[in-house]
Amino acid sequence: DAMVIQNPRYQVTQFGKPVTLSCSQTLNHNVMYWYQQKSSQAPKLLFHYYDKDFNNEADTPDNFQSRRPNTSFCFLDIRSPGLGDAAMYLCATGTGAKNIQYFGAGTRLSVL
Amino acid sequence: QKEVEQNSGPLSVPEGAIASLNCTYSDRGSQSFFWYRQYSGKSPELIMSIYSNGDKEDGRFTAQLNKASQYVSLLIRDSQPSDSATYLCAVMGEYQLIWGAGTKLIIKP
């Protein structure tokens, strides 16, 4: 089945230790999104790619970076995680048509 | 600041009854509206999309859109315990989805 796959599902890191979250898709969608979601809050958009065009939200901390080496893969790098970065990180894809977004299962990040 | 507002709940509904979830939005120019279901610890799952005024039905789910009043609602008929989840309303802004914080729905057996 075509899908959006996030790895790992759970990630534990230490304060200040860099971490990379990955997302892959078999939907061949040209748009990919990274969201951060904390408990009982709405998803917060961090970045999105339209093909290779990278769009960084104005309030995304500099600590967060992203790479999209090809259509299928996208990475979220957190350079120096702080306790406040503990959250669920969601990857989503879309075609732009009808603005529908399809989510992966998410990565739960814990920072010790 | 474009906003989407939802009552956080919890909304408690007896099994078999109709659950009614509401959402208001501030951007009068929005054209695309979505309801996502999110179980605890899981990612959002698209339930309904609606683009024009009126009702759209899919199985037990009906989405209702009123652009003049800037609200969108979701009705769940014959509510089941498995419908217990947080329901997120999302509205397409200029280039990104604007999300509500969600309404927690509890279906009581």
pLDDT digits (tens, 9 = 90+) for B23-76: 999 999 899 999 999 999 999 999 999 999 999 999 999 999 999 999 999 999
CA–CA gap between residue B8 and residue B5 (Å, rounded) = 9
Distance from CA of A79 to the nearest CA of B (A): 24
CA–CA gap between residue A45 and residue A37 (Å, rounded) = 9
Tens of pLDDT along chain A (112 residues)?
669 999 999 999 999 999 999 999 999 999 999 999 999 899 999 999 998 888 888 889 999 999 999 999 999 999 999 999 999 999 999 887 677 899 999 999 999 9
Residue A47's Cβ-side half-sphere holds a number of Cα atoms within 13 Å equal to: 23
Mapped onto helix, strand or coil, the DSSP state of residue B43 is: coil
CA–CA gap between residue A49 and residue A54 (Å, rounded) = 5
Distance from CA of B94 to the nearest CA of A (A): 11
- Subunit contact B99:A43, Cβ cutoff 8 A: yes
Q: What residues contact B44, with CB distance under 8 A and at least 6 apart?
A: A43, A90, A103, B36, B37, B38, B88
| Pairing verdict, β A101-103 and B4-5 | unpaired
% of chain B with per-residue pLDDT over 70: 100
Cβ pair B44, B38 in contact under 8 A? yes
